[in-house]
């Protein structure tokens, strides 16, 4: 419903008594105030807690609004709820219809085929092969996403990329397989792709390119040599083999006093 949901929600806030209104404002305003003061904003899903309160306030606003309009139009006291119900119900129908039209042409593979593709990738690819799967294919994402993330981690940690493999429906264009969060990327030339396997409706491609590092990977992994010596006793530097991301060790900076840095 977008912006239209806020209109009855604001009226619902106004219809509360002073104590209830103050409680709602504190409940919804405190996180916003913390964001302004701290300058840190988390992902949008972190604020989903407020949605049930907006829905309740909108329901209260609709109920009080119907009662207010019924006083001025008593002959329409039964038609008003139905009219307002349709006003909120019709946008939902259009929204679901648009979502269906957007997704009806998406091609999916079967779960059994996605599991067979998983076994193939596990047995026929190296630890440092980067795997790209279709973002819209829920079967491939459900089965292969953990392995894709694991291979990406190995590529970055070890600084080695053996090749790039694309997996998707056999009739899906390459630009849709290599999409970014559902948005198609510029088309990759099929001359660079080599089909390495067909598993039912799943097709696996290997990119026919030679991976050449643009800079020596070992140049920037020894952070302790590049970090200047500290001239204050408030901090200390130690090398550790835990919590490392690149190389064989990481640099730990420890605060030696209790106050906030």
Q: How confident is the model at residue 223 (pLDDT cuts 50, 70, 90)?
A: low
Specify which residues 183 forms β-bridges with.
180
Tell me the pLDDT tens digit for each residue of 36-69.
Answer: 777 666 666 667 778 888 888 888 888 888 778 7
Q: How confident is the model at residue 180 (pLDDT cuts 50, 70, 90)?
A: low
Q: Tell me how far apart the alpha carbons of residues 98 and 108 are, in angstroms, rounded to a whole number.
A: 19
Q: How confident is the model at residue 227 (pLDDT cuts 50, 70, 90)?
A: low
Of 128, 247, 120, which Cα lies nearest the Cα of 195? 120
This prediction has a pTM of 0.52
Instruction: Say if residue 260's pLDDT is above 70.
Output: no
Tell me the pLDDT tens digit for each residue of 126-141.
Answer: 999 999 998 888 899 8
Across all residues in the chain, what is the average pLDDT?
A: 79
For residue 201, the 8-state DSSP code is T
* Ranges of each domain in the chain: 2-103, 111-207, 217-255
According to the model, what pLDDT value does residue 125 have?
A: 92
Alpha-carbon distances of 182 from 101, 109, 140, 150, rounded to whole Å: 15, 17, 14, 21
Q: Tell me how far apart the alpha carbons of residues 142 and 132 are, in angstroms, rounded to a whole number.
A: 14
Q: Tell me how far apart the alpha carbons of residues 140 and 114 are, in angstroms, rounded to a whole number.
A: 5
Instruction: Say if residue 247's pLDDT is above 70.
Output: no
């Amino acid at each position: 419903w977008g912006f239209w949901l806020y209109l009855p929600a604001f009226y619902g806030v106004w219809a509360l008594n002073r104590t209830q209104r103050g409680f709602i404002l504190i409940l919804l305003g405190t996180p916003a105030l913390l964001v302004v003061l701290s300058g840190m904003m988390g992902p949008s899903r972190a604020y989903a807690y407020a949605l049930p309160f907006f829905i309740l306030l909108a329901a209260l606003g609709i109920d009080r609004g119907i009662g207010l309009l019924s006083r001025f139009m008593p002959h329409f006291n039964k038609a008003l709820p139905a009219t307002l119900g349709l006003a909120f119900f019709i946008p939902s129908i259009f929204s679901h219809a648009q979502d269906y039209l957007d997704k009806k042409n998406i091609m999916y593979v079967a779960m059994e085929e996605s599991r067979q593709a998983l076994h193939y990738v596990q047995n026929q690819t190296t630890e440092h092969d980067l795997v790209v799967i279709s973002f819209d294919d829920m079967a491939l994402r459900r089965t292969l996403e953990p392995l894709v993330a694991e291979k990406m981690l190995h590529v970055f940690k070890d600084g080695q990329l053996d090749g790039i493999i694309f997996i998707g429906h056999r009739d899906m264009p390459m630009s849709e397989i290599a999409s970014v969060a559902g948005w198609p990327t510029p088309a990759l030339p099929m001359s660079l792709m080599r089909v390495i396997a067909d598993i039912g409706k799943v097709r696996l491609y290997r990119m026919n390119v030679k991976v050449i590092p643009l800079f020596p990977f070992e140049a920037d992994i020894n952070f302790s040599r590049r970090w200047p010596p500290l001239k204050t006793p408030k901090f200390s530097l130690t090398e550790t083999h835990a919590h490392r991301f690149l190389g064989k060790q990481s640099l730990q900076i420890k605060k030696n006093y209790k106050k906030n840095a």
